[in-house]
């Protein structure tokens, strides 16, 4: 009986001191938060790159990653909660999360880091204090030039995008201007929810012969609906519509060509920039362009359209 009382006392005593021990351990850790706007491969890859770089460079690091599930309201609530924990750095993946994180930050000594943002200036991120970012301005003109060379007789380009995403709006403005220069007709299909993507695609297939998908979080997360419609059994194979994009997230699902940012490398780039600043203790802003542009091709779709890799690579030069 006496032995049981001693053991019980030891357990109670240990439990009483455990929070203090954990607190002491966590005091030595550097907390970094990640506010990811939505769960899809491009943003996941970007987040993974950030985490891998930070864990390699900063051994005593603790990372809190949260997913806003595509909601700007959720992104801001997450940002406020993360700001209250007084982290060393707050990382945001995608424009809505970056805007929310900058707005929620309480102390300019906290580093703001962002990736998967197309236009930092338009998103009002360039003027922030202690802001580090890696932008991924898509090579729209290069991709459309390549596509028009591969399909010289196809003159009607359709695009689906969310007008609520500033990065998508800016990309479509560039696309519109460049299509005019190449004498291509651009037909737009704006959507305000992922549930509208399939319907928008169905409307496009009757009037376009190429579909361009921008780096749009809402549309890319619903790319399977786009592919399903354009490759429908109701559409003759000679009339199938090639899908091109600056985002390779769902290349294997049916996109023909993707030319744009490698999001994992972009995340690594951001993670290393944040690690540099954490190690130096400096307070400064540093926004760079992603150095991870890549061409990705879907071999199955190339064969379907009678195109070879060699043709694409030669035309891109």
Q: Is 24 exposed, middle or buried (0-12, 13-18, 19+ CB in 10 A)?
A: exposed
The token pair at 225 is: 């609906």
Displacement of CA 178 from its chain's centroid (Å): 24
When pLDDT is cut at 50, 70 and 90, the band that residue 232 belongs to is low
> What's the whole-number mean pLDDT along residues 98-102?
97
Q: What is the mean pLDDT of the chain?
A: 88
**Structure confidence at residue 2 (pLDDT):** 47
**Structure confidence at residue 158 (pLDDT):** 96
* pTM flag (> 0.95): no
Taken in order 250, 288, 294, 140, the sign of the CA dihedral is positive
Residue with tokens 């999360």: 97
pLDDT tens-digit readout, 42-99: 899 999 999 999 999 998 999 999 999 999 999 999 999 999 999 999 999 999 999 9
**Structure confidence at residue 88 (pLDDT):** 96
What is the H or E stretch that residue 33 is in? Answer: strand 30-36
Please tell me the number of Cα atoms within 13 Å of 133 on its side-chain side: 31
End-to-end CA distance of the chain: 84
List of domains in the chain: 28-137+262-292 (3.40.50.2300), 140-260+295-316 (3.40.50.2300)
**Structure confidence at residue 238 (pLDDT):** 44
Residue 141's nearest CA partner among 106, 185, 171 is 171
**Structure confidence at residue 183 (pLDDT):** 96
Bridge partners, 294 (sequence order): 260
- Quickly list H helices, the chain: 2-27, 41-57, 72-84, 95-104, 140-150, 166-181, 197-204, 217-220, 223-230, 263-280, 299-304, 309-316
């Amino acid at each position: 009986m006496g032995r049981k009382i001693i053991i019980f006392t030891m357990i109670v005593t240990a439990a009483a001191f455990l929070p203090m021990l954990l607190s002491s351990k966590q005091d030595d850790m550097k907390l970094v938060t990640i506010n990811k706007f939505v769960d899809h491969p491009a943003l996941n890859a970007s987040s993974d790159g950030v985490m891998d770089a930070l864990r390699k460079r900063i051994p005593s690091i603790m990372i809190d990653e949260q997913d806003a599930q595509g909601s700007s309201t959720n992104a801001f609530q997450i940002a406020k909660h993360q700001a209250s924990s007084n982290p060393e750095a707050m990382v945001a993946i995608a424009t809505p999360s970056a805007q929310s994180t900058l707005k929620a930050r309480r102390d300019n000594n906290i580093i703001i880091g962002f990736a998967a943002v197309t236009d930092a200036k338009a998103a009002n991120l360039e003027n922030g204090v202690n802001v580090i970012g890696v932008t991924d301005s898509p090579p729209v003109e290069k991709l459309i030039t390549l596509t028009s060379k591969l399909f010289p007789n196809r003159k009607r380009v359709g695009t689906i995008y969310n007008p609520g995403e500033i990065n998508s709006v800016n990309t479509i403005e560039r696309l519109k201007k460049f299509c005019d220069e190449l004498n291509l007709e651009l037909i737009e299909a704006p959507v305000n929810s992922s549930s509208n993507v399939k319907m928008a695609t169905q409307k496009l297939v009757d009037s376009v012969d190429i579909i361009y998908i921008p780096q749009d979080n809402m549309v890319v997360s619903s790319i399977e609906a786009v592919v399903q419609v354009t490759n429908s059994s109701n559409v003759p194979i000679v009339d199938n519509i090639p899908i091109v994009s600056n985002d390779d997230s769902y290349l294997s699902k049916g996109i023909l060509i993707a030319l744009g940012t490698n999001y994992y490398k972009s995340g690594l780039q951001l993670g290393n920039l944040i690690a540099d600043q954490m190690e130096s203790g400096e307070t400064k802003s540093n926004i760079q362009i992603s150095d991870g542009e890549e061409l990705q091709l879907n071999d199955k779709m190339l064969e379907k359209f009678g195109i070879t890799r060699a043709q694409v690579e030669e035309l891109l030069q």
